[in-house]
Chains A and B, each alone.
Chain A
Amino acid sequence: MTIKITMFNYKWGSILLFLVCLTSTDLQAQIKLNNLSVGSSVWFRTYNTPDERVALVNPPAENGELNPMLFTSIIAEIALGEKYNLVSRVGYGTNDYSTIFTVGNLIRTESIAQVLIPLSLGINYNFISSENNNADNYSKKAHFFAGAGFNRLLIQHSISRVLSSGPGGFNDRYFVGNDFGVYIHSGISKPLSKSFDLILDARYNAGYYIHRVYPDELNGQYLRKRISANGIEAGLRLVFNFNNK
């Protein structure tokens, strides 16, 4: 009997493997959830492409300008030994974009309500001295860390069109997509107590995603427009340490 390998099997098989690993007490003994943190950050998106308005009518031709987006994130770190952490992150940010196109007496306004969910997976290296590694002093001294990893951007666009007159307007048509990116990451962690740390960190995100555009002129055919996901992101987060003994 042959087994047909499909994307579906591959995906659900890996999820099943992941769940098996999580429920394995033996594995839990070796891999420990180090901390969990919640924080906010500002992603100063800089574009080497036109921004999201490229997906709307009458898009600007030039590259997008600095576009700060506020993100809320949950980050979990799993200790992979004394100085390495596996860092995973789920963020949530929104933004709005709109364009106006006036043809004669017809004013067409199109807008995007964007939800951007960056998923990150990477490894951090903690610059911890042996003295600092002492359990007694651990919570009393700050340390630096640095790392790198992959981003996965989940994008949801709710697109609306408003017309000054006539038919053709609508509200909230939802479209989703995703793509990959990379990041480098560094920061400083300041212990506040045995259980809580405060982290000030920054990362540089790099990547893009593809948006389809159906120009009026192309009669239903679409173009694939690349939208940059570059930019420095800086934030502050509160960390709860599980490994606080």
Chain B
Amino acid sequence: MFFSKSRSVTFLKVSKPLIFLLSVGIVFFACAPMDVDNIQPFQYIIKDFDGKITLGIANKKKPALTDFEPGGIELPPATLELVEDILTAILRDNLKDENENILQDFAFLRDPVAMDNRLKDIDVNDIDNILDTTIPLEDIFADIFFLVEDVPGLFRYLPTYIPPKIDGIIFNFYDIPPKVKGRIIPVLLNDYDPSKLVAVNSSLVTPCAVAVDAAYNVALGNLILESERQIAEAGIFYDGIRVEIADIKNDRFDYLSDTLQGSIDELRRLGIAINIASENLLREGKINEEIYYGIKLFMVAFLVKSRQNLIMFNDTVIAAIEKIADEDIERVNQAYNDFLDDLEDLFGEAMQDLNGIRNSALNNCHNQGGGS
């Protein structure tokens, strides 16, 4: 044993007061110091902007689309009467006298030596070739047309070309205005950086100003969201019109194709019918050879002029359709730009209100003093 029993008892008797003091001291110093905690920082709640900032609805106008009259190939009444007389003369004894005179005038234009054999041999293939604009026209047919073209009294019996009209104005290839392009809304936020305005005054209470700017940014964010929503909505609206314009353009090309083919068919039918009628009338002895060649010459001039009309109709209408589509797109772009201008104005007004409220709220963030 390290200690005897008697020595242990003595030690305990002496040391008990020390043990007591030690234990009291330990209790006193046992726990570590502890900071007094505190309330959390004050949160400024800014309601100045609530429900006060709204962005008006910018006006989306649907532009009036271009009015289009495609024109076409027209047979003047005198031509119809002449053709009708030729086609129906077989049922009667002869042609009408005035038409015989006209056809006589046609016949006088020709050079019999150079032309009669070719005129006599005209058949369906020749008619098809004249109307087929992809095949070069025979010189003799062109010469015949030029002979007729120089005589206005006869030229008026040929088919006429009606040019297309755009918004009631005859289409002119050479008067195309510069295109209006669509744009995007400019970045408006560059002018409204809240950080530029914070803490410019030493008495401005920063947490309050920060709370104001947080509320300001929320309101500004809502404005931007609303403007973006309107822009997106307008984009859909105007894209729909652009699609509509593209559909109209395709429809017009389809119409042009159908009209061209219909015109070719009709002109071919008339050409064949006149050619057959001329042969029948001569064979039946209801017309003499002069009138026969007059009919042939009229028919050739009729078909060549029709060919010329088909070419002009095709080229002009194609250009007109393209131009109309472009112009309509320009109108849509202009309408979209007008919408953006309107939206910008509304946005600017809302920003004025927003900044006014912000300034007022910031003025309310100044330390007014107060005793402690």
Contacts and interface: CB of A to CB of B under 8 A. Distances in A.
B37 A177 contact: yes
Interface string A145-181: 0000010100101010100001110100101111110
Contact of A27 (B16, B27, B33): B16
A149 to B, nearest CB: 9
Contacts of B28: 119, 121, 150, 152
A25 to B, nearest CB: 11
A18 interface: yes
Contacts of A98: 372
Interface in B39-57: 39-45, 47
Nearest to B366: A104
B17 interface: yes
Contact of B365 (A27, A104, A218): A104
A159 B23 CA distance: 36
Contact of A14 (B27, B205, B206): B27
A129 interface: no
Given A14-B26, A17-B26, A224 B366 contact: no
B79 to A, nearest CB: 91
B31 interface: yes
B372 A58 contact: yes
Contacts of B368: 102-104
Interface in B352-372: 363-372
Contact of B206 (A60, A211, A217): A217
Contacts of A24: 16
B19 interface: yes
A196 to B, nearest CB: 26
Interface residues of B, number: 44
A98 B372 CA distance: 6
Contacts of B37: 175, 177, 212
A89 B261 CA distance: 120
B205 A161 contact: no
B235 interface: no
Interface residues of A, number: 69
Contacts of A220: 40-41
Interface stretch (A105-113, A132-140, A182-190, A237-245): A105-113
A30 interface: yes
Contacts of A30: 13, 16-17
Interface string A209-222: 11111111111101
B20 interface: yes
A219 B205 CA distance: 14
A213 to B, nearest CB: 6
A21 B35 contact: no
A30 B13 CA distance: 9
B145 to A, nearest CB: 92
A210 to B, nearest CB: 4
B367 A18 contact: no
B187 interface: no
B25 interface: yes
Interface string A3-15: 0000100110011
Interface in B193-224: 205-208
B36 interface: yes
B24 interface: yes
Given A166-B45, A219-B41, A107 B31 contact: no
Contacts of A31: 16-17, 20
A224 B35 contact: yes
B92 to A, nearest CB: 106
A173 B27 CA distance: 29
B113 interface: no
A102 B205 CA distance: 10
A150 B26 CA distance: 12
A7 B41 contact: no
Nearest to B31: A11
Contacts of A215: 41
A140 B25 CA distance: 34
Given A27-B16, A178-B33, A214 B38 contact: yes
Contact of A216 (B42, B366, B371): B42
B45 A168 contact: yes
A175 to B, nearest CB: 5
Contacts of A107: 370
B1 interface: no
Given A26-B16, A99-B372, A213-B38, 16 more contacts: A14-B23, A14-B30, A20-B23, A21-B20, A30-B16, A58-B370, A100-B370, A101-B367, A103-B365, A103-B368, A180-B33, A210-B35, A212-B36, A216-B41, A216-B42, A216-B207
29 contacts: A7-B30, A7-B32, A10-B30, A11-B30, A15-B27, A18-B20, A24-B16, A26-B13, A27-B17, A58-B370, A101-B367, A103-B44, A103-B205, A103-B208, A103-B364, A103-B365, A103-B367, A121-B28, A150-B29, A157-B36, A159-B38, A168-B43, A177-B33, A177-B34, A178-B31, A178-B33, A211-B35, A214-B39, A216-B44
Interface of A: 7, 10-11, 14-15, 17-18, 20-21, 24, 26-27, 30-31, 53, 55-60, 80, 86, 88, 98-108, 110, 119, 121, 150, 152, 155, 157, 159, 161, 166-168, 170, 173, 175-180, 209-220, 222, 224
The 3 A-B pairs at the shortest CB distance, nearest first, are namely: A104-B364, A177-B36, A14-B26
